Structures are given as C-alpha cells and as structure tokens.
Amino acid sequence: MTTDPDRLPPLRRSDFPPAFRWGCATAAYQIEGATTEDGRGESIWDRFCATPGRIRDGSSGAVACDHYHRWPEDLDLALSLGANAYRFSIAWPRILPAGRGAVNAKGLEFYDRLVDGMLARGLEPWATLYHWDLPQALQDAGGWAERSTIDAFVEYADVVTRRLGDRLKHWITHNEPWCTAFLGHLEGNHAPGVRDLRTAMQVCHHLLLSHGRALPVVRANVPGAQAGITLSLHPIVAASASAADAAAVQRHDGSRNRWFLDPLHGRGYPADTLALLGDAAPRVEPGDMAAIAAPTDFLGVNYYFPEIVADAPDRGPIRTRVVELPDVERTAFGWPVSPEGLVVLLERIHRDYAPPVIHITENGSTYDDVVGADGRIIDVERRLYLVRHLVAAREALRRGVPLGGYFAWSLLDNFEWAEGYLRRFGIVHVDYTTQKRTPKASAEWYAQFLRS
C-alpha cells in the first residue's frame, strides 16, 4: 500500500453502504475539563494525576479542551466534517459524585444539552458509559476489584439510560476493559496505579460482568436500544519463524484478545489462558459467565496496531514480550502502522465470533504536528494513516465483514492519559493556551471524503 500522498488510492464515501456511521470519538476525561464544576465528584484520574510522577508532563484533565463549556463549537466542528454520528463518554462522577446514591442534577443536565446538541445537528449520539473515570469514592471502597462496584455500575447505567434513553439509542458499556484491568491494575501506569496480576484479572472479570449485568437495564430503559461493548483488539504476529514464537502468539492472543471475545460470545474464559494463570485466575461465581454472554447488538473494535511478540520464559505466566522489530513503520508513539492488520483482525473476528455488526469505534494516530507560519497544520502522516485505514475498512467490507461504522480517534487533540498533552491524536488541533481549534489537513481530507 502506498505511503506517497500523491498516489493515495481513490476512495469515496459511496464505496461504503449508505447507512454506514461516520464520525469521531472522544472521551469525557480527555476533553471536558471543568472537573470541579457543577457538583462533579472526584475521579480516579483526578487523584492519579495529582500524584507526582504519574503523568509524563505533570498535567491533568482539569481543563483539557474545556469541552464542558465549548461543546457547541466542538459539535459544529464534528458536523462540518460531514459526520453523521458522534461518539462520546459520560463522566460517572458528574452523575453520581460519590459513585452511587445521590444523583447530581447538573451532571444529567449537561449530557441532556450535549445530546440535544448532537440531535439538533443531525449527529447520531453514541455514548460510552465507562471510559475509565471511576468515581474516587468507589475506588476508596476497593474499586473494580470489589464485586460491589458492579452493582454501582448497574445503578449508574440505570440513572443515565432512564434520562437519555428516549433520545440516545447507541450505548457502549465499556471502552477497552483490557486497559482498565491491565494498564490500571497490572502495569500501574494508568489510574488507579495498582500492580498486581491477580487483582488485574479480578478487575477484568468484574468489568465484563458489569457489562453483562448492565445490558438488560439499558434495554429496559431505552426503547430500540443498540447496545454493545468496545474492545481494544490486536492481530498478534510472531517476531520470528521459530516454533517458540509461534506458541507465544497463541498465549498472547489468549490474554489480549480471546480473554474478552470468548466469554462475551458464550465460550467462557479460554482454557489455555486459565491454565497459564493458575492462582491468578479470577474468582467466578455461578451465573457470571451466562451474564457476561448476554446478547449484544454490535461489537465495537478499537484498532491501532498489531502486536509483534516473542517467547519470553521469564515474563509472567503468559511468558511473552512485545518486540520492536526494526524497519517497521511507526507513529510518533512508536506504535506500528499496519492497515493490513485491520483487515486481518476484522476478518478474524467475523470468522471466529460472528457478531451481528462490527463498528470501528476508534482508530487514529499521533504524530508531532507542526503549526505552520500560516497557522495551518499539514499532518500528512495522520492523513495517510486515515486514508489507508479506510481503504482497509473498505477491503474488509468487500471480504464480507459486516462493518457498520468508523469513528476516527479523535475529534480533538486531548489529554492522552499517562502521556498528558505530549501526544496529539486529534484531526482538529487544539492550542491549549488559547483553546483555539484548527482543523488539520487530516480533518480537511476527512470532510472532503465524507462530502464526496
């Protein structure tokens, strides 16, 4: 596939089905700011950011893109691209500042306005209930490691879907439970910063169970609901042709992909991974696996890169290590660029699990943008990344994958978790001093494509 901008493959919106969803994705903590306004409670990310050394540039989401106040302008930007849908997340601590119990009316009113703003612009709202900002009060009681947090999540889902379900039909329970469990509770570089495998596995089980337990509540409250979950999935590639690396691929795939896909599709946890985990396997109670396998209307897939893995006998129970092979094209984050990987991944999900519809709920890249003397940001690499992944999405459709939508990550540059503001994923540039938004060349291309 070409990397020469002048030889981009021809691509038209009409290459995709008429009902295809086109949009951008965002998340509350990454863009909203206003973390102490209108009764919002503290989240684990507020606490994590306040802990020295956790965030690379020492920043936080306290102001971020000030979307809490600037949302009309941001929705106008989404509309100006020609999008027909918009994915956002709801901040649990705005709705239930203490995690459960008292509901904060102002929090609900904010999302009322936001959703009405989308509808007024013809943008179909897609809400994620949990994009990582757990109320700190729940963390103080044990967080996702505690089974009671599942009940709190179901209560929260109930409050929000009762209020917005008359207008908002597309609901995603969780965004990337792998990240919450493993980055937050094993590697410790995301909130709440725990480092313990057994805890991470229990958290993972509780996240999946909370998804399954929330689904019937969402369906009861939302007439015509379309509900699903979003996973971060990766094609897993062997670092070499050795038998040891081939076996490593299977083990890594078990913990990275099948650990989520199997139970969500009624197969329970993969036996090979369970055996490797031994004592670190989660405690599962009767009925849990059936609840996790509650039917969904779609699977959300966040695709960024394939993982290249090697056998690593000394590395934990899974005994694999992600390697950085030379001569692999990478983004500024160091993530491999592989549009082909998207085709491989989507075909595999369709073949092995056959969800009714797959939506790409995130896909995007970070590069070191330069603001030109004329104020423009000609982000050639991000634009190419976008085009090449859309070509891949079209190819997946051609091969029979029931792909229903594509949401670029992200509408705006934003707070990139442990990286702070050092990584820019937006197709719209944000000047964090003035809060001025400037569509980059990638946004101009996306708009041109969506209007083609």
Would you name the residues annotated as active-site residues?
176, 362
Q: Among 61, 170, 212, 240, which Cα is nearest to 405's?
A: 170
Q: Does 111 bind ligand IFM (CB under 6 A)?
A: no
CB of 25 to ligand IFM, least distance (A): 8
3-state class (DSSP) for residue 121 = coil
* 132/449 with CB nearer ligand IFM: 132
State which of positions 296-315 bind ligand IFM (CB under 6 A). 302
CB of 126 to ligand IFM, least distance (A): 14
Q: Which of 365, 324, 358, 322 has its CA nearest to residue 343?
A: 358
The CB-of-175 to ligand IFM minimum distance in angstroms stands at 6
Q: How far apart are CA 446 and CA 452, in angstroms?
A: 10
3-state secondary structure 4-45: CHHHCCCCCHHHCCCCCEEEEECCHHHHCCCCCCCCCCCEHH
- Per CB under 6 A, the list member of 416, 424, 427, 429 interacting with ligand IFM is 416
- Among 32, 362, 369, 379, interactor with ligand IFM by CB under 6 A: 362
Q: How far is the CB of 414 from ligand IFM (least distance, A)?
A: 7
Exposed/middle/buried for 328, CB within 10 Å: 0-12, 13-18, 19+? middle
Closest-by-Cβ residue to ligand IFM is 27
Q: Which residue in 42, 46, 124, 176 binds ligand IFM (CB under 6 A)?
A: 176
> To the nearest 10°, the Cα dihedral for 186, 187, 193, 198?
10
Site for ligand IFM contains 26 (CB under 6 A): no
Build a one-symbol-per-residue string for 242-281: x at contacts with ligand IFM by CB under 6 A, - elsewhere: ----------------------------------------
Handedness of CA 61, 65, 71, 77 (dihedral sign): negative
Kindly state the smallest distance separating residue 224's Cβ from ligand IFM, in Å.
Answer: 27
Residue 86 is inside which H or E element, if any? Answer: strand 85-89
How many Å apart are CA 208 and CA 288, to the nearest integer? 9
Nearer to ligand IFM, 282 or 300 (CB): 300
Minimum distance from residue 425 beta carbon to ligand IFM (Å): 6
3-state helix, strand, coil in the chain (%, to 5): 45, 15, 40
27 binds ligand IFM (CB under 6 A): yes
* Pick 27 or 391: Cβ nearer ligand IFM: 27
Instruction: Characterize the bridge pairing of strands 170-175 and 21-25.
Output: unpaired
In whole angstroms, what is the distance from residue 288 CA to residue 209 CA? 6
Alpha-carbon gap, residue 171 to 220, rounded angstroms: 13
Contacts with ligand IFM in 131-160 (CB under 6 A)?
none
28 touches 129 (CB < 8 A): no
Q: In terms of CB distance, is 293 or 332 closer to ligand IFM?
A: 332
Q: b vs e for 375-385, b when ≥16 Cβ sit within 10 Å of the residue's Cβ? A: eebbbebbbbb
Residue 60 or 104 with smaller CB distance to ligand IFM = 60
From 130, 153, 425, 445, residue interacting with ligand IFM (rule: CB under 6 A): 425
Please calculate the CA angle 428-431-435 and round it to the nearest 5 degrees: 95
In the complex, least distance from residue 195 CB atom to ligand IFM, rounded to whole angstroms: 20
Q: Which is nearer to ligand IFM, 30 or 149 (CB)?
A: 30
Residue 440 near residue 386, CB atoms below 8 Å:
no
Q: Which one, 236 or 238, has the nearer CB to ligand IFM? A: 236
For ligand IFM, which residue of 409, 421, 445, 449 counts as binding (CB under 6 A)? 409
How many binding residues for ligand IFM (CB under 6 A)?
Answer: 8
Residue numbers of the site for ligand IFM (CB under 6 A)?
A: 27, 30, 176, 302, 362, 409, 416, 425
